[in-house]
Chain A
Amino acid sequence: MTVQGNAAAPSSATGARRTVESAVIRFAGDSGDGIQVTGSQFGLEAAIGGSDIATFPDYPSEIRAPQGSVAGVSSFQLQLAGHDIHTPGDRLDALVAFNPAALKAALKDLKKDGLLIADAGAFNTRNLQKAGYSANPLEDGSLEAYRVLAPDISKLTMNTVEAIPDIDSTSKKEALRAKNMWALGLVLWLYGRDRKTTSDWIEKKFKKNEQVLKINQAALNAGFAYGETVGLPSTIEPVAVPPARLPSGDYRSVTGADAIVFGLIAGCEQLGLDPVYCSYPITPASTMLHLLAKLGGDQGVRIFQAEDEIAAACAAIGASYAGAVGITGTSGPGMALKTEALGLAVAAELPLVVINVQRGGPSTGLPTKTEQSDLYQAVMGRNGDTPLAVLSVSSPSDGFEVAREAVLMAVDYMTPVVILTDGYLANASEPWRIPDLSALERRTVDAHAVPENFAPYMRDPETLSRPWVVPGTQGTIHRLGGLERKDVSGEVSYDPANHQKMTDLRRDKILGIARAVPAQTPVLGEEAGDVAVIGWGSTYGTIYDAVTELRAEGLKVSHIHLRHIWPMPANLGDLLKGFKRVLVPEMNTGQLVTLLRAEYLIPAEPLNKVSGRPFTVDEIADAVRAMIAEA
């Protein structure tokens, strides 16, 4: 919890800083203001400085949304803390607003007495009008509840640039674009952070344009110096956030998309197999394709930008058929297009990993906003009785473990495995202890290995998985396809009894995965009590914080978080039956809750939100309090 308040300690450039345990900061401005870069750089400085961080980038789907409009506001929120944190925070301790629209969009989230930094230079008549302000809020007294610091950042940035020797007039015109670096410098100073990493980053980013490089460096330094040297009002004090007590090791910052990519590669390497990643550009899944393309041949990863979502899935299936691990990444609408191909992979019983970075639906929906509304689609959304495994990711770095598990599961069970993550998780980042790859279990899978008395649909008695035995293997020629196969021999068969048997086998194979996954235990709390709050995916941090709060109040509440959406862990039904009430918060209209009710005949209750933004801790905690008050 943040304790930054209005203590009237004198602000001083050199004096001791007051320590706060955590802070929630949001940068907000036009989508062309460089907000995402500013936020990520601040996050990186905070993480390198030893804080735990959690970030929430939020931006419009237009590349250059209408300037100055509330709809065009791009924002980057992060929490930094001296302890382990799980969310980017609900209420803001500080808001940096680059224009009136940003203030309009974000002010409701700023705590009373929170710090508002605004670029007074951008609060001109035109921008105020665009944001729907009739009077300038910086001057009309409407911001009295907050601590306001509103220098003319635009002008200060321009002055800084004017003062640099040898800057040509063309570059000067572009100088205003560096105001984000000026603001970043000031915020870094306010939170007692270094600026070296950012300075190095500018050096690298603009190495081909020395003028722009100088401008950005100067702006960053000027903002920092402004904090140090200009006597800030006494209410605006610089603070220090102590380092978090994280387990020792080497750390890096990782986004949810990066972690999945690393996990996919690691999983394939554990099995000695080649990943072949086939994808079609779609927001917000494309970042995975970008990272893989960058790693490219260097990692032994083959990537294929297909002509459409269907081809991406089909090429991945073709790759698996030939002995690689076929992987395809997408978001909801793309997932819909891949549906028929998933059925083929189920029928042909081939390994396939499918990543769905969920976004708001239906149809094109909210491409850059987060939602968890594709659970039904993942578990049930195919023609025929077509079971497959579904896993979900609960934090940015969790993607590494989930992706690794998905690869192993796909190969062990010869099945498609769907990984559900979402737009929020894919873009959010957190510090991540770099795993010791040499410690990962290694067991080489030979896709050419021929079992005794080979038949294409003979089965491993334990997993019910069929042998892979790919083309190029001598003496095992056979044909696969989407037509129903005869048990064991794999020949085309329309026999009624055989179809019953094969349908049962496909179901039992997938349900059998539950035997191999660990028993579900609560993340927080006991295995019985008044309320179980059960979630999946990116609600992890918020539920965790809410349940922590509730437990501190003495309430008998536990937090259960599912990674294995389908099949569900074998003990889940019994575990949930140990609670008087079961609450299922989801960013959809109630999908997991339906599944739980159907599977276990328990009166699980939904808590839903589909605003394109994550739950807040209060929303979940209040719902539980209400449940307990009713009882």
Chain B
Amino acid sequence: MTLQTPLKPKDYASDQEVRWCPGCGNYSVIKAVQKVLADAACDPADTVFVSGIGCSSRFPYYMETYGFHTIHGRAAAVATGVKLANPKLDVWVVSGDGDSLAIGGNHLLHMLRRNVDLTYLLLNNEIYGLTKGQASPTSKVGLKTPTSPRGTLDEPVNPLRFAIGAGARFVARGVDTTQGMLLETVKRAHAYHGAAFVEVLQNCLVFNDGSFDDVAEKSVIADRQLQLVNGQPMIFGRDRNRGIRFNAQTVGLEVVTIGENGVAEADLLVHDENNRTIATMLADLDTSVFPLPVGVLYAHPEASFADKLEVVEHDAPTLLQRLDKALRSGNTWHVA
């Protein structure tokens, strides 16, 4: 699986012309992925990108690895089959918010609960791009689109809460505008043994431009993003003086300022990736009040789908004998 002579990130780019709109957030994601593969010296011949339908699902075409651009919403199911047949392959799924959470929600749910050993990137732009801008299951309430001219009515799905609810053991979030953090997050996801789920907030500059500006625009990142580091107190802000504290009275999280009202760094909540309650609270934060948690919210090592599969190495002559034995088990009789 590992190359003797590592490749460069650009060696993981295919010769196909990339057809995402100039400035699309997908470019930063593919750049991060290619770097992660290069850093891990992954053999492109053992690497498979599986996708569904949508802008982000064109991803496999641009990777110099094996790839399967399947049908709308079904990438998780196809990828599960790939792992069933050959658990040794390094499988990635790249999908969008409509693909993963509308038409393919059921497959994502079950892939996560089964802990299929693959890296799942959900590129969330809160809109249907390829079909020209309809509201998606993650669109914010009130978004005006061709299918919701007076604004959407439906509550959006929170992808991280969905993943945790489905039983995912690795749940993370990245943002297209913070390349370094995104790279680290994807790297962690790829290294995880089991289903690693990463939501990437990704700006669609044609149909939903600026949807994440309040948390992702370069000038606000320091104040509006909470970069999670395992074992470290939850600190954020331009001056690194704001933090997240657990309030036992409200059984919830609150934003505090170090040095105000007697708050010290020691009062802040320390991130513990292994703690699902913390992960759930972080996934649940209202980002109009709280900073957006980014990085690994939850990572809980557990036996993966493939670990539990009873894989018998292929030994054809013996197998035919076994079939013969099965045919002759139970009641048989001889006719002379």
Could you list which residues of chain A lie within 8 angstroms of chain B, going by C-beta atoms? Answer: 44, 47-48, 50, 197, 243, 246-253, 262, 265-266, 269, 272, 274, 276, 278, 295-300, 302, 304, 306-308, 310-311, 314-324, 326, 340-341, 343-344, 348, 433-435, 437-438, 442, 444, 470-483, 491-492
A543 to B46, CA, bound (A): 53
Contact partner, B69, options A246, A299, A481, Cβ 8 Å: A481
Report the minimal beta-carbon distance from A434 to chain B, rounded to whole angstroms: 5
Contacts of B60-90 to chain A: CB distance below 8 A? 60-61, 64-71, 74, 77-86, 88-89
Complex interface: chain A residues within 8 A of B50 (CB): 318
- Closest-by-CB residue of B relative to A200 is B331
Whether, in the assembled complex, B316 has its beta carbon less than 8 Å from a beta carbon of chain A, the answer is yes
Known: A298-B322, A310-B74, A348-B68. A315 touches B81 (CB 8 A): yes
Do A481 and B81 touch across chains, with their CB atoms under 8 A apart? no
Asked whether B309 lies within 8 Å of A302 as measured between CB atoms, the reply is yes
Query: Which residue from A48, A272, A344, A473 sits with its C-beta under 8 Å from B70?
Result: A344
B110 at the interface (CB under 8 A from A): yes
Pairwise interchain contact B310-A297, C-beta atoms closer than 8 A: yes
| Closest A residue to B327 using CB positions | A434
Q: Check B61 against A492 for contact (C-beta < 8 Å).
A: yes
Given A302-B309, A471-B66: A318 touches B85 (CB 8 Å cut-off):
yes
Bound: A284/B303 CA distance, A = 34
Q: B326, A321: Cβ atoms under 8 Å? A: no
A471–B64 alpha-carbon span in the complex (Å):
12
A472 to B84, CA, bound (A): 14
Whether, in the assembled complex, B335 has its beta carbon less than 8 Å from a beta carbon of chain A, the answer is yes
- Residues of chain B contacted by A475 (CB below 8 angstroms): 45
**Does the CB pair A477–B64 fall under 8 Å?**
yes
Q: Are A324 and B85 in contact (CB under 8 A)?
A: yes
Q: CB-CB contacts of B49-65 with A at 8 A, as 1s and 0s? A: 01000000000110011
A48 close to B71 (CB less than 8 A)? no
B77 touches A250 (CB 8 A): no
In the bound assembly, the distance between CA atoms of A475 and B14 in angstroms comes to 13
Whether A299 contacts B64 by the Cβ 8 Å rule is no
Please tell me if the beta carbons of B331 and A44 are within 8 angstroms of each other in the complex: yes
A-B contact pairs, 16 of them (CB 8 A): A248-B335, A249-B334, A251-B334, A272-B316, A274-B314, A299-B319, A300-B315, A318-B80, A322-B48, A324-B85, A434-B327, A437-B323, A470-B86, A472-B66, A479-B61, A481-B69
The interface centre, meaning the residue of B46, B309, B333 with most chain A CB atoms within 10 A of its CB, is B333
- Chain B: residues with Cβ within 8 Å of the partner, total of 57
In the complex, residue of chain A having the shortest beta-carbon distance to the beta carbon of B107: A311
CA distance A247 to B334 in the complex (A): 10
Q: Which listed residue, B65, B80, B336, touches A315 by the CB 8 Å rule?
A: B80
- Determine the main DSSP class of B at the interface with A: mixed
Which residues of chain A are within 8 angstroms of B333 by Cβ–Cβ distance? 47-48, 50, 250-252
Q: Which residues of B contact A314 (CB under 8 A)?
A: 70-71, 74, 77-78, 81, 107
Query: Which of B60, B61, B82, B332 is within 8 Å of A250, CB to CB?
Result: B332
Bound-state CA distance A115–B221 (Å) is 88
Is the CB–CB distance between A295 and B16 below 8 Å? no
| Chain B residues, CB < 8 A from A251 | 332-335
Contact of B153 with A by CB under 8 A: no
Interface centre among B69, B79, B106 (most CB of A within 10 A): B69
Could you say which of A304, A306, A471, A482 contacts B86, with CB atoms under 8 Å apart?
A471
B320 near A477 with CB under 8 A, answer no
Q: B80: which A residues are within 8 A, CB to CB?
A: 304, 311, 315, 318
Chain B residue numbers with a CB within 8 Å of A442 are 316
B322–A299 touching, CB < 8 Å: yes
B327 touching A321 by the CB < 8 A rule?
no
| A249 and B332 alpha carbons, distance in the complex (Å) | 10
Question: Which residues of chain A are near B310, meaning CB under 8 Å?
Answer: 296-297
Q: Using known A-B contacts A307-B109, A479-B68, determine if residue A471 contacts B45 with beta carbons closer than 8 Å.
A: yes
Whole-angstrom distance between the alpha carbons of A276 and B68 in the complex? 19
Residues of B with C-beta under 8 A to A491: 16
* Closest A residue by C-beta to B315: A300
Taken together as a complex, chains A and B put the C-alpha atoms of A556 and B66 apart, in Å, by 60
B251 in contact (CB, < 8 A): no
Tell whether, in the assembled complex, residue B45 and residue A317 are in contact, meaning their CB atoms are under 8 Å apart. Answer: no
- Could you tell me the distance between the alpha carbons of A475 and B74 in the complex, rounded to whole angstroms? 28
Q: Give chain B residues whose Cβ lies under 8 Å from the Cβ of A319.
A: 81-82, 84-85
The answer to whether B84 and A276 have CB atoms under 8 Å apart is: yes
Find out whether the CB atom of A482 lies under 8 angstroms from the CB atom of B48. Answer: no
In the bound assembly, the distance between CA atoms of A249 and B323 in angstroms comes to 17
Residues of B within 8 A of A308 (CB): 106
The chain A residue with its CB closest to the CB of B1 is: A472
Interface residues of B in 11-57 (CB under 8 A from A): 14, 16, 44-48, 50
Q: Is the CB of B44 within 8 A of A482?
A: no
How many whole Å from B296's CB to the nearest CB in chain A? 27
Contact of B331 among A252, A269, A299, A321 (CB under 8 A): A252
Question: Contacts A250-B328, A480-B69 hold; do A324 and B319 have CB atoms under 8 A apart?
Answer: no
**Which A residues touch B69, using CB under 8 A?**
479-483
B64 CB → nearest A CB, Å: 6
Contact A472 B46 (CB under 8 A): yes
Given A299-B319, A471-B48, A480-B69, residue A307 in contact with residue B110 (CB < 8 A) = yes
Q: Are A276 and B332 in contact (CB under 8 A)?
A: no
Contacts of A471 in B (CB 8 A): 45-48, 66, 82, 86, 89
